[in-house]
């Protein structure tokens, strides 16, 4: 029986929407860097910030699209987890850069920014619990197909 993954679908769509906002922010950042460069101002840190926003746009869009695919194919969950963690890493990196070059780290901005990627990861984990059968060995530990085969061969040699 196939489990519904509404939570993952919603979070994936929100990641795609967030990625769209990141694309707009990246374009605005690049325009601002261009204007400052034309004015003769030093724009080195702004280039780095614009690149970080563009990278975040790619990560959010990719995570959202891969999340939608994982709704139908749960084996793609691991790749989605990587994209979700990468979104968090980019968010934290951006806040650290803001702290170094800007007015300091805005904790409320960091916490509100973490909501979407953390909920995305939670949706992936929930789908993993609901969508994949869990087998256990005699000790109650999770056992995958390779462990089950190894246990069968071990039992045959002991008898």
Q: What is the pLDDT of residue 152?
A: 55
Q: What range does the domain containing 103 cover?
A: 6-134
Give the end-to-end CA distance of the chain in Å, rounded to a whole number.
37
Write the Ramachandran bin of 40: left for phi over 0, alpha for psi from -120 to 50, otherwise beta. Answer: left
Number of domains in the chain: 1
> Other C-beta atoms within 10 Å of 39: how many?
8
Asked if residue 28 belongs to a domain, the reply is: yes
Task: Tell me the CA distances in angstroms from 102 to 94, 97, 130, one per residue in order.
Answer: 11, 7, 43
In a domain, 66, yes or no: yes
Task: List pLDDT tens digits, range 102-154.
Answer: 777 778 888 888 999 999 999 999 887 765 544 444 444 555 555 555 555 55
What integer pLDDT is reported at residue 136 of this predicted model? 43
Most confident among 47-51, 77-81, 99-103, 110-114 (mean pLDDT): 77-81
In a domain, 87, yes or no: yes
Residue 107 within a domain: yes
Q: Residue 22 burial by CB count (10 A; 0-12/13-18/19+): exposed, middle or buried?
A: buried
What's the pTM value of the predicted model, to 2 decimals? 0.73
**Residue 147: inside a domain, yes or no?**
no
Residue 156: inside a domain: no
Give Cβ neighbours of residue 156 (< 8 Å, ≥ 6 apart): none
Two tokens, residue 92: 């934290």
């Amino acid at each position: 029986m196939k489990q519904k993954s509404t939570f993952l679908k919603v979070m994936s769509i929100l990641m795609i929407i967030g990625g769209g906002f990141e694309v707009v922010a990246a374009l605005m950042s690049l325009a601002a860097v261009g204007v400052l460069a034309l004015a003769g101002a030093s724009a080195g840190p702004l280039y780095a910030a614009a690149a970080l926003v563009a990278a975040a746009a790619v990560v959010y869009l990719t995570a959202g699209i891969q999340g939608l695919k994982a709704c139908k194919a749960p084996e793609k969950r691991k790749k989605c987890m990587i994209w979700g963690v990468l979104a968090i890493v980019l968010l934290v990196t951006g806040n650290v850069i803001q702290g170094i070059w800007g007015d300091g780290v805005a904790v409320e901005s960091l916490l509100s920014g973490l909501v979407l990627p953390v909920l995305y990861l939670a949706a992936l984990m929930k789908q993993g619990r609901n969508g994949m059968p869990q087998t256990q060995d005699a000790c109650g530990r999770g056992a995958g197909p390779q462990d089950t085969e190894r246990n069968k061969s071990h039992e045959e040699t002991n008898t």
